[in-house]
Each structure stands twice: as C-alpha cells, then as structure tokens.
Amino acid sequence: MTNKKTVVAAFVASCSWLAISMPASAQEAERKIVSESAGKYDIPAQSLDSALAEFARVSDADLLYSSDLVAGKRSSRVSGDYTPTEALRRLLNGTGLSLTKVSANVFSLQAEGTVSAGDGTGTPVAGVVRDALTGSILPGAEVSVVGTDLTTTTDERGFFYFPEVPAGATQIQVSYLGDAPARYPLSGDAYERERMSVMFGDTGDEIIVRGFQSSLQKALNQQLRSDNNATVVSSDLLGSFPAETVSEALRRVPGVAFGRNDDTGEGSRITVRGFSSEAINIQLNGLELQGTGFERTIDLSGFLADNISQITIQKSLLPSHESSGSGGLVEIETKSGLDYEDGLTAQIGIEGETNFDRDFGGEYQINGLVSARLAEDFGVVATVQYRKTDRLNYGADIVSSLPPVLPAGFTGLSLVPASQQFPFDPEISQALDTGVSYLKRDREEENLTASLNFAWDVSPTTNLRLDLQRIQRDAYSETARTTATYLTSAVDMPIPELGGEVRRRTVLASLRPNLAFNVTDLSTETNNVSFRGTTNLDRWNFKYKAGYSRATSRSNNANLSAAGAAATNLTDLIDPATIVLNPDDDAAMTQRVVNGGIIYQPNGLPVLSLTDAGLAYLNDPANYALTSASKTLSASPTDAFTLEGSVRYQPAAEFIDYFEVGAKWDRSERKANDDVFATTSTGSLLSVESYIRIFGRDTGLDAFGAGLVDNSALGDIGADIFRAPFLTGASVDAIFAGLPNFLADDPSTTFNEQRFTYTDRRSLDPILDSGGLVPVKTIEDKTAGYFQGKFNLGDFELIGGARYERVYRSGQTLAAPSVRLASGATEPRETFVQAGLVQFTDLSGTQDVWTPSMIVNYRPMDNLVARFAYFRSTVNPDFRLIRRSRDVILDLRSTVNRATIRESNPDLRPTKTDNYDFDISYYFDDTPGLIRAGFFYKKVKNNFTNVFFLDGDDDSVREDILAYFGDLATARPDLVAFDADTEFLRNRPENGDGGKIYGVELEAIRQLTFLPGRLSNITLLGNLTWTKGDFPTLVSGRDDTGTLTQFTLDRPLADQAEWVYNVSASYEEGGFEGRVIYTYQSSTADVFEIHGLDQELPSYDTLDVRLNYTFDLGPTNMSIYLQGDDLLRGSNEIDLRRAITSEFNGNGSSFYFPDIYQFNGGRTITAGVRVRF
C-alpha cells in the first residue's frame, strides 16, 4: 500500500510540474480550432506605438490600427509566458483600446466603447452559444459586452441573458477555455438582440480531434465559471472511462469512492469525501431519487451511462442546494432535445462483453438515440439503453473461531472485558478455521434505461423542459451454497502453547455439512416525471419545477435448506498429514482436534483437508435431509412529489450580481408489505409460506426425486481436486411439488408420513400471531426556503445566504411484549392481547434546521480561481432508527435475567455538518487541463451514523416496563419478577457527539504538447483523495467488573476509504483515441468490535484500457471500440471482500484474517460499434 501511495503522489507532482513549466499548444476536441502557442514576453512600459512594434516582432503577429488611435498612449508592462492574445490584452491594459482577433495571427485594435451598464437606454440581450462545427451547446462559456463591465456565463443549456445592455454597445465577446476569445456583432434591433445564435469556434480545415478532449473542455469551462466547488463529468467523458454504470464511472472522479454489490462485485453506490451513500443526495433531472422500504441509499447499478448528458457533483453547497448532502449533491442530467443540430439525428450502438474465461458468462448491450429539432426553438430526444447479463460467480466464506483460546477465567468472548484486546496471548494469535461456505451464483439480469425529453424555448425569455425517465432492473439469480463445516465444542483443557495452562479452548467435534439453495427474483423500477422552466422578465429571473417520482422494489424468492448428518470420527475423515491433536487432562486423556481441518490452495482458496473417506462422506447425497423450504415476498413502493420555485433579481448596481429567494416542498410516502428491515440483499425477509421439519423426522433429499445434488469440482476457482455437493436448480420445483405429501399422516401405514409443518403467514392476524405480516407506511414531508445573494468586489466574489428546512415524519408500527418466565416457559401472546398491550402505535416527529452558507471566490486571472467555503449540511436518520417497533423483551431465567426496551426515536435530530472547504485551481487556456489542490474539513454534530443503541439506567427502564404492563403487572407479578441481579437495558438510538472528517484532493490534467511529434498527443490525468476521520463510536462491551456498558472508540466512518487515486494516460490522433487508467481504493472499516476484532472491506484496484476509432463513412459517422476491464485479475485469482483486521483498532497489534472470498471471472474484454446518422 505504501508503494502505491508513493507512486501516485510522485505522478501527480510530476504532472503538476510538467503542466506549469512547459508551454503548450491548443488541441481542441470534437471541432476544428486554431491553435495558439505560448511564448516568453518581456516588454517594458513605454509609448504604445513602440510597445506594439516590439510585440509584433516577438509574436510574429500582424496588427491593424491607425496611428491616431495609439498616439500619446503608454502601454502596460508585459513579462511572462503568454499566448499572443493574452500578451496583447495585457499590453493594452489601461490604454482604452481593445483587440479583435481577425484570424490566426492577425489582430485589429479599436477604442473601447464609452457605453456603461447604467446608460438607461438599454435593452435585454439573450441567446445561445453553440459549437460552430457540431451545433452542440456550450455551457460554461463566458459572455461579455465589449465596452462595458457586463459579464455572464452560459447555463447548462448554453443560454445567456443580460437584462439591460446599453443601446450603444455593438459587440459581445465569448471566451471559452481552450480557445481564443472571439467577438460577435450586436444588432441594433431589439428583437434580434434577444434572439442571438452565437456559433463559436472555427470551421476551417484544421485537424479534427474527437472525444475525451472536447468533453473535458466542456466540463472544465463549467467548473471554472461555477460559483461553488463542483466537479462536472460530461457525457463523452463518462464514455471515455471504461464503465457501464454511473457508480463505476464516478469512482474516477476526485473525492469519490464507490461501494460494491455484495453478490456481484459490481459498483452499486458511491461515497463522497468520507460520507457513505446514506449521506449523499442524488438527483435526476432536478428530482431527488428515492430509495425503497427503509433504505435511503440509491442503488446506481441500474443507471446505465449512455443516456446521460452530464453529472455534476456539488462539493460545496449553496443555500439553493439541498442541505441533505453532507457528502455531496450529485445532479444527473439526461439529454435535451435542443442539445443537437437542426433536423433529425439518430445513433445506434451495440457491444458485447465476456470474461477471458468464458465459463463466467458475459453480457451484451444495445443503445439508441433519436433527436429531432422540429424548429429552432423546439426539440425532442428519445434514448433507450438495454443490457442483458448472464454471469456466474463463486464465493468462499471462511467459518472460524476467534479467538480459539479464551483468556483465563472466561467461558465466552462476550464476557471478556474491553480492557483485554486481541491477541489475548501472543502465543495464540491465529484463528481456528472451522469450515468453508462455498457458493455458486448464476445470475441473469436485464437493465432498461429510457428517457424522453421535450425542450421548448417558448420565447427569448422563457424556456421549458419536460423529462420522462424510466430505469428498470430485473435480476434473477440462483445461488447454491454448501457450508462444509466442523461443529465445535468448548473444552477446558491444557494448552501446550501456554505451558500446559488450562483454558477454555474451541475444538473440532464433528463434520456437519449443510446445503442451501436460494432463488431471488427481483424487479426494481424508477419512474420520474420532471417539468422545469425559466422565465426572464427585465431584471427578474423566475425558475419553477414540478415533479413526480415513483420507485418500486418487488421480489419473489424461494429458499431450501438441507442438513447433513454429523460424523464424529474426525481422525478418519481429516487428512492425517494436517490434523493437529492435543490431549485433554481427563482420565482418558482424550485426543482433541485443535486444528488441521482446513488447508489452502496455491491461489489462497480454503478447502477442507479430508481423506478419501471424508470426501466421500461430504459428497454423498444420502447424508442430507431437508430441514426447511420457504418463500418470501417483498413489495416496497415509494411515491414522491416535488414543487419548487425561485426568484432572482439582478440590480443595476455593479457590485451586486443578484439576490435570490426560493422555496421547496416535497413529500414522500414509503410503503412495505411487511414491517421488517430487510431486503433480498440486507437482513432476512420473513417467509410468507414455509415448511419446517418436525424434529426427529428426517426426510432425505432422495424422497423428492433423483438428480437434485450435483457434485462439482471447483476448478474454475483454483481447486481442481476438491469437490463439493451443490443443490441444483431443479431441486426447487421438485421439493415444493413434493412437500404437500408430507404434511399429514396416513393412518393406514405403520410409519408417520407427516414430516413437516406448513405455515402461510399471509392469512395470519398480526395482532394475534407474531408471525403475521404487518403492512407499513412512512411519510416524510419537507418544506424549505432560502435566501441567497452574490456580490462582486473587484477580483473577489461573495456568495452567501441561509436555508431553512422543516421535516415532518410519521409512521405506524406494531408494539408487543415478550416474556420468558423464570421457569423457562414463554408466556403466550394471548395474555398480552387480552391486556391490550399488542397494538398499532403511531410514531411522528418534526425537526427544524438552519443551514447557512458562505463562499468567497478570488479570481486574479481569468483562468485562476481560489475558493473558500463554509456551509452547513445535514444527514437524515436511517428509517430503522426512527420507525422500528417498540418491543419490551423480558427473559427472567436465572442464566439470563435481563429486561430490555427496544424502541425507535422519531425525534432523532439530523446530523449537522459544518463544512470548511478551500480549493485553488489553475486552468490552462490553450488546451483543456488544470492543476488543482483542495482541502476539506467537516465537523459533524448529532452523529448517528456510527452510534450503536445506548443503554439506559436501571430505574428508568424498570419504571417504564412497570408502567407499560400496568394492571397486568399487578395481576401477574411473575411476569415482572425482577430481582437485585436483573440487568436492565434500553436500546434507543440517540444523537452522538459527532466527530470530524478532513482530507485533501489533488488533481492534474495536462496534454503534453511540449513533446515532439506524436508524443504531443498524449494527455495525462491524475487525481488523489486522502480522507481521514475521527469519530467517537459507541460499542457495547463489559468493563473490568463484568458490567455490560458502552465504550467510546475513536474510529473512522464506515465506508470511508483513506486513499483513492486514479492515474490515466490517453492518446488522440485523427479519429483514434486510446486510454489506460489505473484506479486504487484503500480498505474501509465495516464493523467495529470491542476487543479490536474489526471487520473491513479490503482495498481494491483495477487496470482498464479502452481503444476507440471514429471515422466517416459517407454521411454516417462510425465508432469502433475495444475495452479491457479489471486486467490485473485472473479468473481464479481471489477478490477478497471482507477481512478481520487490526488496521483500525489502534491498540498496536497486527493481524489480518481473510473472511470472504469472491471469484467474479477476472479480466473482461468488450467490443462494440456505434453509428451516428
């Protein structure tokens, strides 16, 4: 890890040095340009006529002006490396003259206009800036009125607007990073001044370069002109990153890490600046995307990249932004009907992907686009993208006992005080591996992303946009799991490693494998309708938005479980070359198996170390009996409504840019068919129907038919000899079809045919039966308002204001007590139903929050900006914390003797984050590129992200329980028979003290134009993000007196990667573009344990390559591309997904135990073609 950090730091530093020290020439992408080379100038202040002669000699430029124009004027000094345009502009500073670039190396001089913004005879000026060659819009272009100080920036539609321009103004100037500025005549006709169509750029015969460079130019222009710190990723830039989903593409962006799907290993969510996906606000076409059920996290695995126009990550928030984005605000925009040239445009693409080892499957993808500019001011675009995936992957989860030997005097790890940290004894610092759970997953998935946009410029002052979006994911998977494990027992015995001291040790007792088969049929949909508009009236700007979003998640699943018979003759089953035996100190000196049941293959895959007899036993289908079969259903729709509007006023005062006020209302309603916090990938869904084996009445798998078990070699993942049994897909239908035959006894036979009990929970009353389904609904209603202003003070810009949000949440849950009496019997639920203690309860709460924001931008040069920002943001609490049922759980047995209240907290306050952000960026004005460094610091208050449930004091818990039971406690004192030793706990989420996150972002992008020949076509990109967190995390444990309590640990946030970096090189020439990119993400904490046995998600790196060639074939433009992904990993190389580690515990120990392995097929190759008409 250290070497990787050093390499990337050196790379970014070298990129910075090269970018600053070397001159460069322009190379525009996706349109023809005229290049300008920077040169060294040292022209002292002198008479303007002499200075211009010196400039013409140094630059080899031609100047057109009259001698009267420059007579009696003095120049400004010019010293440094500049392009001819910039050098001449600096030389003319203070002379009252301006320049116009006539052609590649010819400039004309003229007197600056004498008009001013306050002339009083002005009219509005509005228009759109487009690429002269392609006709595409150019957002982020700076438009100024020559002869005045009026300046504005084109918005995401390429649109600009001046409320009042003096009638005497005759020219506007457009500046676009990577191109020389250009001037355009300004008509004297008021009608035409409001309908300008500016075609920017040259249309000569210079070389055309397509793809990465033009996308980069479009993105960097918007970043440079932005009021706040933002990262923009435009559509072609997304396409140049080897990725298919949004999350996989965004992990190449500074400050962004990504989370991987537990089952597939593909990117499904993102984290920004240390905050997990729960703390990131993601919007699609201006509407906040909604999770389903209890999840706020947005799964981006179904968001395919081809129909996206642009993604903007707002890292510092303005009052006009949603405050619930402590990690960041991610704005996804789809394509607009006015983004394209006049007439009809069509595009179709197809690609296929496969692993180098084709046993792991593949996928194909088809995408299409049709746009129509039906009029100059009206356009329609429809896009569709379809992906079909058929994949196989494997998993291997290690089952282990950690620690294998407990400290002296303790019989369980939960009883060991927190003051003792693992390893408890330096002589025993390893885990005892007790088994391996192998899984084989066949997955079929279909993704459909479709969008339809209508864009209408109703008038020069009103623009409307309607977006309809559908994102659909249908995933069907069959997962066969074989848990090949040894049952263990805990024995007090002599420990040879400790000189014979007697301790509690975990030993292997028997071989007890289990088989399972799971079918998951999951369908998710997101449907968005977004209507947005902008109207300019004189100095007033009105924005308005209305939207509706519906997200649904449905699944229909089946689960089978079969247990193998336990075999205790381990000395016959485990390979004698590996088995480790230690004698007990009982009378028989019993030999205990203390290790040797697991060995590792050359690639690191764990397998059971078995004799031939052991392998035969493991793979004999006759050893397995069905224990359960169940079906689960989930249905979680979410409906959301949004209304938003703002009014901006641009006063005539030159130092005030604007004042703005706005308001927003949105409401979401989440429903679920059952009040259980689980999904197909999180937790365990409750079964709607189930068959459970009657104890002692085993039914072998052969009773349901033959061929239900397949004995498969694991050669695909590195174990050519070891074989394991797996249930087959045919077993599901066969077993569910046969189970009704085992629900009743046939009295005419001598044996009992009733082997299983059947339960259909859909017919149960949830009040009377704890197994009944409990439909729930949660409402979240939010109202917000804000004030924002922008002031221009010389080279400084000040943008600030505040936002107010009021959130009301309500939900309904079922409350019920549970009592285990001192005798061991469980009190029937009927007792509590009759007492009225089992009932639906309404939970609600309201929170108010103010979030101020202030951003100061310093722009001493057109292409240099330093930003300082302070803003407050929030994180909304997880629904599991604010809407779970209130349960009173009493276990009065002497071995437990505990009373627990488990409840939610609807009044849980949002986490507040005070953010401090400093960023300085230098943008190259000859070719698209930048040097950037940023620092961020986040002070978090009211944290709940890493807070476990708090313990209450004895008196409050006892009193609450007695009050809850009321008269029943008097009538039945045995239900609340507490004594002096009863332990009282309250599990209630509370706001914690918070913590801090801080980090650094570095970024460099530079084309190496100073190199000779074709080497000048190389562009290097590097970015690095270092993030550190310090959070007081509450973890349950015991103190030195044995009392269960809570401890505060300083830990990073879960999902927070300390290091993330990307290193990339691209080459462009003519129609060819090649790109190689290496990405690294360090490990992240997952679960913290009081003794230092923390779980982590290990580091992850990829090497990807993409080659693309674009050419014209008659009127058709074609692109052919080849892409290689994950080139560092072979098909049988381990992808480690979880480990037990000392990395985050800070106690000075050093250990690392791999826990979950995955095999996803390794390297893939993709080939595709796109045709544009």
Q: What is the pLDDT of residues 425-448, one digit of tens each?
A: 999 999 999 999 999 999 999 999
Q: Name the domain boundary from 382, 417, 450.
A: 382
Amino acid at 864: L
User: What span, in angstroms and rounded, lies between the C-alpha atoms of 809 and 880?
Assistant: 13
Please check whether residue 58 is in contact with residue 39, taking contact to mean a CB–CB distance below 8 angstroms.
yes
Q: Domain count of the chain?
A: 2
Please check whether residue 631 is in contact with residue 559, taking contact to mean a CB–CB distance below 8 angstroms.
yes
Whether pLDDT at 276 is above 80: no
Please check whether residue 529 is in contact with residue 470, taking contact to mean a CB–CB distance below 8 angstroms.
no
Q: What is the 3-state secondary structure (H, E, C) of 785-809?
A: EEEEEEEEECCEEEEEEEEEEEEEE
Domain housing 84: 26-112
Tokens at 624, concatenated: 């397995």
Q: Is residue 837 part of a domain?
A: no
- Report whether the peptide linkage leading into residue 775 is cis, meaning its omega lies within 30 degrees of zero: no
Question: Of 849, 915, 1015, 1025, which Cα lies nearest the Cα of 250?
Answer: 1025
Q: Name the domain boundary from 57, 91, 112.
A: 112
Are 96 and 244 members of one domain? no
Are 100 and 241 members of one domain? no
Residue 358 is classified by DSSP as: G
> What ranges in 565-703 are assigned the alpha helix state H?
570-573, 612-619
User: What span, in angstroms and rounded, lies between the C-alpha atoms of 412 and 503?
Assistant: 11
Q: Is residue 414 part of a domain?
A: no
Q: What is the 3-state secondary structure (H, E, C) of 737-755?
A: HHHHHHCCCCCCCCCCCCC
Are 217 and 107 members of one domain? no
Alpha-carbon distances, residue 458 vs 129, 136, 334, 379, 420 (angstroms) = 17, 19, 21, 11, 72
Tokens at 1040, concatenated: 């030195």
Q: Name the domain boundary from 353, 382, 411.
A: 382
Please check whether residue 731 is in contact with residue 725, taking contact to mean a CB–CB distance below 8 angstroms.
no
- At residue 556, the 3 state secondary structure works out as strand
- For 780-798, the pLDDT digits (tens) are 999 999 999 999 999 999 9
Whether pLDDT at 825 is above 50: yes
Are 326 and 216 members of one domain? yes
Here the CATH number for the domain that contains residue 55 is 3.55.50.30
Please check whether residue 157 is in contact with residue 139, taking contact to mean a CB–CB distance below 8 angstroms.
yes
Are 221 and 351 members of one domain? yes
In this structure, the strands spanning 930-941 and 911-923 are antiparallel
Looking at residue 887, its pLDDT comes to 87
Q: How many CA atoms lie within 13 A of 1165 on its CB side?
A: 6
Average pLDDT of the segment spanning 628-633: 93
Q: Is residue 959 part of a domain?
A: no
- For 367-379, the pLDDT digits (tens) are 999 999 888 889 9
- For 845-864, the pLDDT digits (tens) are 888 999 999 999 999 998 99
Mean pLDDT of the chain: 87
Whether pLDDT at 267 is above 80: no
Tell me the DSSP string of 418-451.
TTS-S-SBTTB-S-EEEEEEEEEEEEEEEEEEEE
Point out which residues pair with 902 in neighbouring strands: 887, 987
pTM confidence score = 0.83
Q: Is residue 329 part of a domain?
A: yes
Are 227 and 105 members of one domain? no
Amino acid at 753: E
Tracing tokens 């018979």 back to the chain, one arrives at 565
Cα 507-512-515 angle, rounded to 5 deg: 140
User: What span, in angstroms and rounded, lies between the C-alpha atoms of 962 and 969?
Assistant: 7
| 104: confidence class by pLDDT, cuts 50, 70, 90 | low
Are 241 and 361 members of one domain? yes
Please check whether residue 29 is in contact with residue 211, taking contact to mean a CB–CB distance below 8 angstroms.
yes
Q: Is residue 856 part of a domain?
A: no
Name the more confident of 673 and 578.
578
| 902: confidence class by pLDDT, cuts 50, 70, 90 | confident
Q: Determine phi and psi for 309, rounding to 5 degrees.
A: -85, -40
- For 51-61, the pLDDT digits (tens) are 999 999 998 88
User: What span, in angstroms and rounded, lies between the C-alpha atoms of 724 and 615?
Assistant: 8
Tell me the DSSP string of 372-434.
EEEETTEEEEEEEEEEEEEEEEEEEEEEEESSSBPPTT-SSGGGS-TTS-S-SBTTB-S-EEE
Helix H or strand E segment including 68? helix 67-70
Looking at residue 860, its pLDDT comes to 94
Are 108 and 216 members of one domain? no
Please check whether residue 661 is in contact with residue 283, taking contact to mean a CB–CB distance below 8 angstroms.
no
- For 1049-1082, the pLDDT digits (tens) are 888 877 788 999 999 999 998 889 999 999 999 9
Question: Of 176, 168, 173, 186, which Cα lies nearest the Cα of 125?
Answer: 186
Name the more confident of 432 and 89.
432
In this structure, the strands spanning 864-875 and 911-923 are antiparallel
Are 224 and 97 members of one domain? no
Average pLDDT of the segment spanning 829-838: 93
Q: Is residue 1129 part of a domain?
A: no
Q: What angle do the packed helices 48-59 and 84-91 form, to 10 degrees?
A: 170
Q: Is residue 338 part of a domain?
A: yes
| Least trusted range by pLDDT, from 94-98, 162-166, 201-205, 601-605 | 201-205
Through-space distance between the first and last CA atoms of the chain, rounded to whole angstroms = 48
User: What span, in angstroms and rounded, lies between the C-alpha atoms of 84 and 711?
Assistant: 75
Whether pLDDT at 894 is above 70: yes
Tokens at 998, concatenated: 């801080």
Looking at residue 237, its pLDDT comes to 61
Please check whether residue 446 is in contact with residue 473, taking contact to mean a CB–CB distance below 8 angstroms.
yes
Q: What is the 3-state secondary structure (H, E, C) of 1128-1143?
A: CCCCCCCEEEEEEECC
Question: Of 500, 626, 655, which Cα lies nearest the Cα of 564?
Answer: 626
Name the more confident of 28 and 898.
898
Q: Is residue 310 part of a domain?
A: yes
Are 365 and 218 members of one domain? yes
